[in-house]
Amino acid sequence: MRVLVIHGPNLQLLGTREPEIYGRTTLQAIDGRLRALGRALGAFVECRQSNHEGEIVAWIGAAPGQFDGLILNPAAYTHTSVAIRDALAAVGLPAVEVHLSNVHRREAFRRRSLVAPVVLGTVSGLGALGYELALVGLLAHLRGQAVADAFGGLAGDGGNSGAAGGFGKSGGENPALKAPELGEKNR
């Protein structure tokens, strides 16, 4: 399995940009954790970031044949980009939308997602951990597994019911899924 992760505008500033909203975890740390979790689950994860709508659209358009699924944090483009929404719909790859903050607890304009109708699901408000949850859910979908079953390894059963043959460790601990720090406004 090959997964492309696309981070939208201003996400290169994570760790220092409004940490009370977005937390202190850097984009590099998020990407490193996603690649490590991907390896643990038998998947290749490639991460990219752009502040440019056209570049994001081009990456989505080129993804079929190279990637099996997408994880996308469109950031501010969530609310404005018909082009990104249409690219996702056109390629037809399974995709999960991620937002670090709970967009429904913020300004009214952030509550509308143009991409939500064309993705499998949305993870919002769980900080950097949201990306990892999106990866587990996307891989479960790609493998034809019920998403709820993919999280069985996190329930303390030693990983016997987790995705990819069980990814939890004894006692339900999985260092790849250690919860990151959330900003104060997200607690």
52 is in an annotated binding site: no
Q: Choose, from 22, 77, 131, 141, the residue flagged as catalytic.
A: 22
Q: Is 110 annotated as a binding residue?
A: yes
Determine whether 22 is an active site residue.
yes
CA distances to 126, 127, 165, 178, 180 from 183, rounded to whole Å, are: 10, 8, 33, 16, 10
Max Cα separation, the chain?
Answer: 45
Check the annotation: does 186 bind a ligand. Answer: no
99 is catalytic: yes
100 is in an annotated binding site: yes
101 annotated among ligand-binding-site residues = yes
Catalytic residue among 7, 77, 99, 131: 99
Tell me if 68 is assigned to a ligand binding site.
Answer: no
Catalytic residues: 22, 99
Residues making up the binding site for substrate: 73, 79, 86, 100-101, 110
Residues making up the binding site: 73, 79, 86, 100-101, 110
